[in-house]
Structure 1
Amino acid sequence: MNQKSKNNFLKKVLFTLLGILISLNSNAQKFDKYFPKKDLTTVGVYYYPEHWDESQWDRDLKKIAEMGFEFTHFGEFAWAQLEPQEGVYDFKWLDKAVAIATKYKLKIVMCTSTATPPVWLVRKHPDVLATYEDGTKTDHGSRQHASFSSNYYRTYSMKMIEQLAKKYGNNKNIMGWQVDNEPARFLDYGADAQQRYRNWLKEKYKTIEALNQAWGNSFWSGIYSDFSQINIPLHKEWGMNLHSQLDHYRFADEETATFLDEQAITIRKFASKDQWITSNYRSNYNESFVGMSKELDFDCYTRYLVYGGSLGTGSQGYRLGDYSSIGMSNDFFRPLKGMYGCMELQPGQVNWGSINPQPMPGTVRMWLWHVFAGGSKFACTYRFRAPLYGYEQYHYGIVGTDGVTPTPGGLEFNQYIKEMDMLRKNYDPKAGLPNDYLKRKTGILFNGDNVMGIDLNKQTREWSTMGHFLKYYKATKSFGAPVDFVRDTTNFSRYPFLVVPAYQMIDQKMIDKLTLYAKNGGNLVLSCRSGIQNRQGHLWEAKFYEPMWNLIGSQIESYDLLMPQSPGIIKFDNQEFGWTSWGDLLKPNKGTEIWATYGSEFYEGTPAVISRNLGKGTVTYIGVDSKNGDLEKQVLRKLYQKQNAPIENYPEGVMVDYRDGFGIAVNYSDKIYEINLPKNAKIIIGNKAIKTADVLVWKY
């Protein structure tokens, strides 16, 4: 490259970096306008005026304000009340509710009602109802029963949303908009979905020959001669083409994302610039539509932890939930657009789980602090009044079935709100993050395609893709590391450590990007299954993983999968760890260090974990998925220590994060844990010895 070319290249790099900085600063300014830094966070609660006698609205909204809530949430399931007949709109009742909320200085999140279309719409246009794989259709009476792939539904929904936006787009008390409610990937098999899928494939592949090649249709006589021959794949049918299934997931995710975008575009035509637009997701990490909508200002999540699902930590852990659940949601959603909120946080006992126990006293407050710890700008809960009828009977609210008496969760929300007032008085806008905290900052690379691709073809029932991610996530959080789930487009150089779990489908561009990251001083960790396929989900026409060999400093000769009754052994630093689900058989190059070996099977003594220097950085390959994650944790510990990154040793169930000049620790474990605070720390809330379901907040 001559000097002129070098100068042009440097100019391009500088302009790119400048663009990124301007974009980041613009986003930061936008978020600060919506949510002033000095407020730290704000707290809200859902209210459904259409569920209660109009004479009670004033009492209820006054009570919401008296309990310290700063905003409420209207309209997400009210389409039938807002448009009782086609083209006939009734906003009088909502106007009254908005006026009462305004009287009590409550801001409002206004919602679109696309999760619950009215019966007149689905009876007149039954084609808007989604069709299951077996040909049966959804019907009125549930929610999320309309198809995002219905052309009529997509078009008609915007008419309702336009009327709502015209009515409230310049109302200064409307702080923002939520489009839909807990949108999901629905695999619709209706006629519109079928045609839209074919159109999507044609746009993606351009020619039928390109599709045949990508799907490997030479196999089992799968060749198509025209896009019109392609049907939506049957996911429950044995042997269905895996590549077609993956494309169908991609299509369905894009249908969800673009439906939300269309709503946001419609609202923005009439909404004030001071009003933000978001949606609330269910933290389904295997569904790629989460974060895909470009028109949303930021993304929010819903979190319920006690419902008979996770057993948590210790004998009573089922009353607190999985300690990584909120943390992972924080660290997953925050990097998507630079900000996040929790739109729905469990207020107490729920009704829809497999078993619905009471949360342990203090747990709801602890969850609130955990949401805040990750950087959230707000927390909201479903719902103020416990429902008396409908599918969600027995679901707790902030007040009980009498509509007046605060529930235990309601009292804990009130306590948190008062504590947040105390925190605001101690806020220092100049405070940064601790240096030791930043030195262990870690990115975890997440690619939805890879998650979906692996889950379509696990090769062993012992494998859990999200369980594999959790092993690395829980390990890094036990070190007290700040973690971001990053995407392919992220600038990896921001992170001293980058973990790449099971990145199955890869291309040379990504291999080069990871190589450059390490050469420039980054510490790269890859796990088993990384790079065994190309981006089309095909195995390489080469030896196993061969394009990865130069990066990891080793050949990978094969892999093994064990039976659950015959677990294998990994030996690492005089310790033994069990495994069954996936083990790569490595043949490292000269100069690559062997950190762990297989301790059983016919390949006993061969390498299982390796590490090498690459340029100014390192590359570590953990070629096996251990039974409970202890091996991954110990390998990461060794790496961080070798790089002189100061790390903590928090036990399972204890999570610690920093933001805005404060340290926040929460304890999901069944044991008291004492935090080692720096001498200059000022405790704001709690004690150094944190009890189960308790919180410690300090200023550093």
Structure 2
Amino acid sequence: MRMGVDYYPEHWDRSLWEQDAKLMQETGVSLIRVAEFAWSRLEPTEGRYDFTWLDDAIDTFAKRGIQVVIGTPTCTPPNWLVNAYPDVLPRDEKLHPRYPGIRGHRCYNSPSMRHYSALIVEKLALHYANNPAVIGWQTDNEFSLNECNCEHCNARFRTWLQEKYDSIEAINAAWGTVVWSGEYSDWSQITTPLGGMNYKNPSFVLDYKRFETDSLVEFQQLQLNILKKHCPNHFITHNIWSYPMALDYYKLCENLDFVSLDYYPSTNPEKAESSGYSGALTLDLTRGIKRQNFWIMETISGPPGCWMPMWRTPHPGFIRAFAWQSIARGADTLVHFRWRSAPSGAEQFWHGLIDHSNVPGRRFEEYRGLCGEVRKLAPLLEGTEVRGEVAILHSHDQYNAFQIQYQVDGMDYFDNLKTIHRAFTKLGIVTDVLNESDDLSGYKLIVAPSLFLLDPELASRLETCVQNGAMLVLTPRTGVKNLNNVCWIQPLPGPLSNAAGVTVAEYDPIGRDVHHFSWRNKTYSCSQWCDILTPQTAESVAWYEDDFFAGKTAATVHKFGEGEVCYLGTVPEEAFYVDFIQDAAVKLGLQFISDLPEGVQISTRVKGSTRYLFLMNLTRKEQIVTLDRVYYSLLNEREIGQVLTMAPYAIEIVELPMKST
């Protein structure tokens, strides 16, 4: 467990390198990430490589005991490459090239981009393979889909489809192209979504999104093959960029050693409390990609400003508190972006730990203290991990399918997942947010939000979990389509109808209208969607209170094997989820805290029989937390009573007694 910073030696006069290295050493920084945007300095003209400046910089920091992660510079193709090989540039839906001026201007299927990317990565790998200061690599920077329509993407898209479907007849059948006379009679007729994606066949668009992910994965794999060949003792990671994301992170990260995340919690007061909950979901999602601990490769050091107007400056304690939140939810290393604010370029006002004044200030001193705390507790936390008893399912395919066809005004797949996760977080229940294709055995509670795309294989796996004793929670728009994005011709929830013991007789996309339903003699509001349910073998447990379906079933529970399936036919307010989850937790024997103050979070890291509890006040106000006993604070080296008063952004870490067996 260690602390680092993102550093750009090419931006600074060499006289600053030694000063910075000395101050980093004194502060507790033990690693830096470099070079991910430095292609033009590493290869100033085609075939002329210059690594001497980077050698000198790495040597300067190595002498201070600071290790190095090198970012491959393929996010920023240099001007000489773009000018000489215009196929590098992606083309939009009207076939216009997207010119430089911003990073990420490259087509993943461009032969020139792949060729010259492989060359620069191999040169770097060979050069730094045996440098003792270099410990690992970051591929590129914040990959995302670029929706390119160039000739190379068109040709590769056809090949991709041929490999998946084998024949024109198969693709016509899978996509239902008979609608609007869209049938193909020759592979040459299939193109990327020229003209844009509005009103195009949703099966076609979803496959195009999948193709885009696979193209990017291939582009990254070129780099992985080179790095693994020449640097077998180095780790390889990639810094993903938050959620929601059309790019399939599960595929992207499959062959990486671990995942890294760029995490920027909002500093604005109106988002002060909600940001902590959104961040908790992002961190849990990141941990779930490979079901292991991860790195933070960038996180907040000052007010961000570049792609949007500047945010508020981090309130005292904010940087420290959200760093500990990251550790509490599985981060093993924290790299802050950036050491010093840039004097030039688009990100001049994406502030670093040190401002343009070059005078360390309040934020820097807070970071210095954080480094000391992490160094102090690292021996205890080393080798610990986060383990949840609850699984929430997530899918980039589901997200993309909902983006392709918005179901109703105000309905958003990821926002609804966020609301469910926030309810668990408010109760202090640690969740694993997992790819829907993951092994789910061992979880007592599985929440599967809106399985819009549902095939019999996933339905069967979920049925098995329930039969073995799990509780499965389903929500509206489950079982609507198969994986080709074509509607099932059977009652909803499609392949899960038998396990749920209920069918949807009719539905009303109510959007932003507010309706009400009753559950356990209490009334809750709901919006977005109302499934009017007909129980088959399930029991009705909630009923609508208004509109033409007043009195009709809104939710059911079905005993199935050793477990049960709960079907929620509407999208309720958060208060319902909190009550519903508490009820489920009591039934399943899950520990929870019913009176955790708003904005206060807990998490645990475990190793063997040892457990560490993190209590975090991620708000600007003082909060009072009631504990079950007196604990000893490992962070502050003092006893804390059962009634704990937490200052704004306060953190406490305690060792929990062993669980009784």
Partner of 2:312: 357
How far residue 287 of structure 1 moved from its aligned partner, in angstroms, is 2.2
AA aligned to 2:183 is: I
CA offsets 1:670-689 (integer angstroms, 9 cap, x no match): 54333333436311235632
Q: Does 1:367 align with 2:322?
A: yes
- CA drift at 1:85: 1.1
Distance 2:357 2:238 in 1: 31
Report if the CA contact (8 A) 1:317-1:668 is conserved: no
Q: Within 5 Å, give how 1:468-547 maps onto structure 2.
A: 468-547=416-495
* Cross-structure match for 2:615: 665
Aligned partner (choices 512, 527, 552) of residue 606 of structure 1: 552
3-state secondary structure, aligned to 1:365: helix
C-alpha change, 1:527 and 1:648, in structure 2 (3 Å) is same
Helix, strand or coil at the partner of 1:329: helix
Q: CA deviation at 1:323?
A: 1.1
Task: Describe the superposition over 1:139-172 as per-residue Cα deviations: whole angstroms up to 9, x where unpaired.
Answer: 2232001111212201220001000000011222
Deviates more, 1:576-585 or 1:221-230: 576-585
Q: In 2, Cα distance between the equivalents of 1:321 and 1:67? A: 31
Q: Please point out which of 247, 258, 279 is paired with 1:326.
A: 279
Q: 2:584 aligns with which of 628, 634, 639?
A: 639
Q: Secondary structure at the match of 2:626?
A: coil
| Structure 2 contact 444–588 (Cα < 8 Å) conserved | no
> Displacement of 1:427 after TM fit?
5.5
- Judge conservation of contact 2:144–2:247 (CA < 8 Å) in 1: no
For the residues of structure 1 that align with 2:422 and 2:271, how far apart are their CA atoms? 18
Aligned position for 1:386 = 341
Distance 1:426 1:184, change over 3 A: closer
Cα distance 1:52–1:651, how it changes in 2: closer, same or farther (>3 A)? Answer: same
Output the CA distance in 2 between the equivalents of 1:235 and 1:678: 61
Matches within 5 A, 1:302-321: 302-306=262-266, 316-318=269-271
**Separation in 2, partners of 1:159, 1:118:** 14
1:319·1:358 contact (CA, 8 Å) conserved in 2?
no
- Per-residue deviation at 1:242? 1.1
**What is the deviation of 1:497?**
0.8
Match of 2:590, as an amino acid? A
Q: What secondary structure is seen at the aligned counterpart in 2 of 1:396?
A: coil
Which residue of 2 is the match for residue 50 of structure 1? 10
Determine the C-alpha separation between the residues in 2 that align with 1:296 and 1:131. 29
TM-fit CA distance, 1:538: 1.4
The match for 2:659 is none
Equivalent residue, structure 1, for 2:517: 570
Q: State how 1:190-205 maps to structure 2 within 5 Å.
A: 190-205=150-165
CA shift for structure 1 position 256: 1.6
Distance 1:101 1:320, change over 3 A: farther
Q: Give the secondary structure class of the aligned counterpart of 1:662.
A: strand
- In the alignment, the residues of structure 1 paired with residue 385 and residue 57 of structure 2 have an alpha-carbon distance, to the nearest angstrom, of 41
Q: Secondary structure at the match of 1:192?
A: helix
Counterpart of 1:589 in structure 2: which amino acid?
Answer: Q
- Report SS of the residue matched to 2:510: coil
Q: Distance in 2 between matches of 1:235 and 1:527?
A: 35
Q: Secondary structure at the match of 1:265?
A: helix
Q: Kindly state the Cα deviation for residue 272 of structure 1 after the two structures are TM-superposed.
A: 3.7
Instruction: For residue 234 of structure 1, report the CA deviation from its aligned partner.
Output: 4.2
Deviation at 1:598, TM superposition (A): 0.8
For 1:415, which of 363, 369, 374 is the aligned residue?
A: 369
Tell me by how many angstroms 1:586 deviates. 0.6
* CA distance in 2: counterparts of 1:494 and 1:184, whole angstroms: 33
Aligned-partner Cα distance in 2 for 1:361–1:432:
28
- Corresponding residue of 1:587: 534
What are the superposed Cα offsets for residues 379-434 of structure 1, whole Å, 9 maximum, x if unpaired? 1111111111111122211112133x2243322221111112332365597x898x
Letter matched to residue 75 of structure 2: A
Q: 1:515 to 1:426 in 2, by over 3 A?
A: closer
Q: Partners in 1 of 2:382 and 2:206 — Cα distance?
A: 48
**Does the Cα contact within 8 Å between 1:306 and 1:320 map onto a contact in 2?**
no
Whichever residue aligns with residue 345 of structure 1, its letter is: T
Q: 1:169 aligns with which of 129, 148, 159?
A: 129
Per-residue CA deviations over 1:656-680 (Å, capped at 9, x if unaligned) read 1011432112222454333333436
Share of identical aligned residues, percent?
28
Q: Measure how far apart 1:618 and its partner are.
A: 1.5
Q: 1:517 to 1:425 in 2, by over 3 A?
A: closer
**In structure 2, C-alpha distance between the alignment counterparts of 1:282 and 1:531, rounded to whole Å:** 30
Which residue matches 1:335? Answer: 288
Q: Name the structure 2 match of 1:697.
A: 653
1:30-50, Cα deviation, whole Å (9 max, x unpaired): xxxxxxxxxxx1110011110
1:611-630 alignment to 2 at 5 Å? 611-626=557-572, 628-630=573-575
What's the offset of the Cα at 1:355? 4.5
Indicate the SS of the match to 1:596.
strand
2:187 to 227, 230, 237: 227
SS at match of 1:391: coil
Give the match for residue 103 of structure 2: 143
Q: Which of 282, 295, 298 in structure 2 is aligned with 1:344?
A: 298
8 Å contact from structure 2 (residues 197, 205) kept in 1: no
Letter in structure 1 aligned against 2:519: F
Q: Secondary structure at the match of 1:341?
A: strand
Query: Using a 3 Å threshold, how does the CA distance of structure 1 residues 254 and 683 change in structure 2: closer, same or farther?
Result: same
Q: Which moved more, 1:409-418 or 1:43-52?
A: 409-418
Do the aligned partners of residues 425 and 269 (structure 1) sit closer, same or farther apart at CA in structure 2, a change above 3 Å counting? closer
2:80 corresponding residue in structure 1: 120
Q: Report what 1:685 is aligned to.
A: 635
Taking the aligned partners of 1:428 and 1:399, their CA distance within structure 2 comes to: 29
Task: For 1:61-210, list aligned pairs within 5 A.
Answer: 61-210=21-170
Task: Determine helix, strand or coil for the equivalent of 2:634.
Answer: strand
CA gap of 1:385–1:161, structure 2 versus 1, over 3 A, is same
Match of 2:624 among 659, 674, 677: 674
Q: Distance in 2 between matches of 1:380 and 1:563?
A: 41
Q: How many residues are matched?
A: 642
Separation in 2 of the partners of 1:110 and 1:321?
Answer: 34
Deviations 1:325-367 (A, max 9, x none): 3311221121222231111101111112345211211101111
Does the aligned pair in 1 maintain the 2:479–2:488 contact within 8 Å?
no
Report if aligned partners of 2:447, 2:472 keep a CA contact under 8 Å in 1.
yes
Asked if the contact 2:471–2:565 (Cα under 8 Å) also holds between the matched residues in 1, the reply is yes
Q: In 2 relative to 1, CA 680–235 (structure 1 residues): closer, same or farther, beyond 3 Å?
A: farther
* Cα distance in structure 1, aligned partners of 2:376 and 2:36: 33
Amino acid in structure 2 at the alignment position of 1:578? S
Q: Which amino acid aligns with 2:276?
A: Y
Which residue identity is paired with 1:694? A
Unaligned 5+ residue runs, structure 2?
657-661
Residue 212 of structure 1 corresponds to 172
Q: Normalization by structure 1: what TM-score?
A: 0.88
Q: Say whether the 8 Å CA contact 1:261–1:296 is kept in structure 2.
A: no
Distance 1:304 1:699 in 2: 29
Q: What is the TM-score of this pair, normalised by structure 2? A: 0.93
Give distance in 1, aligned partners of 2:458 and 2:98.
42
String of CA shifts for 1:305-340, please: whole Å, max 9, x gaps: 2266xxxxxxx3435761123311221121222231
Return 134-143 or 598-607, whichever deviates more: 134-143
Contact 2:310 2:349 in 1 (8 A): no
Aligned-partner SS, 1:580: strand
* CA-CA distance at 1:107 after TM superposition: 0.7
Q: 1:243 to 1:530 in 2, by over 3 A?
A: same
* Equivalent residue number for residue 24 of structure 1: none
CA gap of 1:212–1:425, structure 2 versus 1, over 3 A, is closer
